[in-house]
Structure 1
Amino acid sequence: MSPLGPGDVACWVLKSTRPPELIEPGWRVGTARELTRCVRRSYRLDLVRPGQPCLLWISGRTAPGVHALGEVTGEAEERDGGPVVAVRLTRLPSPVARADLLADPAARDAEVLRMPAGSNPSWLSPEQYAAVLAHLPPRPDAALGPWPT
């Protein structure tokens, strides 16, 4: 498989095994948090740019899937523990379930579904990202408009 190019990535996928309430205590549904997420050193970090869409994927046995949606807010940078990327994520009221995405023909071949232990960040193509957006739960406060994309 050839390396990704800028036009291949519609959304970055940042993975964790910890649910949102353990990543950021007090993180309420529908609210955004500025977070710094650890990522793996690779050529992909050169493609990550502020303003690009990203999402938080929780893996494991309990509610695997998309738990938050947002955007990259900073360039990938080195810290003491390794590379990190700054993001702003809004917590969803319920996850977009892994099972729903596996059943969706547009999403089922996403890297995060095919290789759950693969690179962090992972990525979604435009078609895969559109499928995730189509599965988003309703926003609890409709006055805020649609989910950030």
Structure 2
Amino acid sequence: MTIDRTSVGCWILKGNPDVFDYFGAVRAQPPRIVRPGVFEGNWTVGNTYRNDLIKKGDLMALWITGPHKPGIHEIGWITSDGPIFWAQGFDRKHAVDPQKAAQPTYAVDYAAIRLEDLYVQRGEMLAEPVLSHCEQFRARQMSNPSYLTPEEAHALADILATRITPTRLGKAHWKKLLVS
């Protein structure tokens, strides 16, 4: 399905644990701190028309797939002016598939907070009526990035507000999605 910027409330950056060991990387590497409680990160995206829609300041959420803790693990905002071309591929230190990691790819930079044990589990999203029909569940093999509509992003923010403080939501630039 073709989308435009008005379709997007938040970009979903998807991580496949068969390609990159997200949890191992988080354990092994101290985060690059942007300001207290907020770290700098980056993630690869596919070569798709959606890359032209990604803008600095857009909200993002990192979705880790697979059988071990699938769900939203980080929330924040895009800090690069759209995707950046990485000719040398991505971080091989935590790559599960080194050949894939060595391939040229696109990526976005972002600033975010890690949800850690407070991550939003796939089952929680499926149980929420608005989120249960998001692109992540309708088209699981969709290229990266996926997205949440504005209504779906608000629903995710409501879930997040039940587990993290308004201050942390604000640090991630997500507090603005809460209905007052």
Aligned match for 1:26, one of 26, 30, 35: 30
Deviation at 1:69, TM superposition (A): 0.3
Match of 2:113 in 1: 90
The answer to whether the Cα contact below 8 Å between 1:20 and 1:91 also exists between their aligned partners in 2 is no
In 1, Cα distance between the equivalents of 2:75 and 2:153? Answer: 11
Task: String of CA shifts for 1:29-65, please: whole Å, max 9, x gaps.
Answer: x932212211100110000000010011011111111
RMSD: 1.9
Normalising by structure 1, report the TM-score.
0.86
Larger Rg: 2
Over the matched positions of the two proteins, sequence identity in percent amounts to 29
Structure 2 residue 113 is the aligned partner of structure 1 residue 111: no
Contact 1:101 1:131 in 2 (8 A): no
Please identify which structure carries the higher helix content.
Answer: 2
Deviation of residue 95 (structure 1)?
1.1
**Residue matched to 1:53:** 59
* CA–CA separation in structure 2 for the residues paired with 1:20 and 1:60: 11
- The number of aligned residues is 143
Q: In structure 1, give the amino acid aligned to 2:124.
A: D
Aligned 8 A contact 1:15 1:59 in 2: yes
CA deviation map 1:90-149 (0-9, x unaligned): 10142111111111111111111222232111000011111111111523xx5x714121
Per residue, is there more strand in 1 or in 2?
A: 1
Tell me if structure 2 keeps the 8 A contact 1:31–1:90: yes
User: What is the TM-score when the length of structure 2 is the normalising length?
Assistant: 0.72
Structure 1: segments with no counterpart, 5+ residues? none
2-side partners of 1:36 and 1:145: how far apart?
Answer: 23
Q: How does 1:1-149 map to 2 (within 5 A)?
A: 1=1, 3-18=2-17, 20-24=22-26, 25-27=29-31, 31-74=37-80, 75-80=82-87, 81-93=104-116, 94-136=118-160, 137-139=162-164, 142=165, 145-147=167-169, 148=172, 149=174
Residue 93 (structure 2) aligns with: none
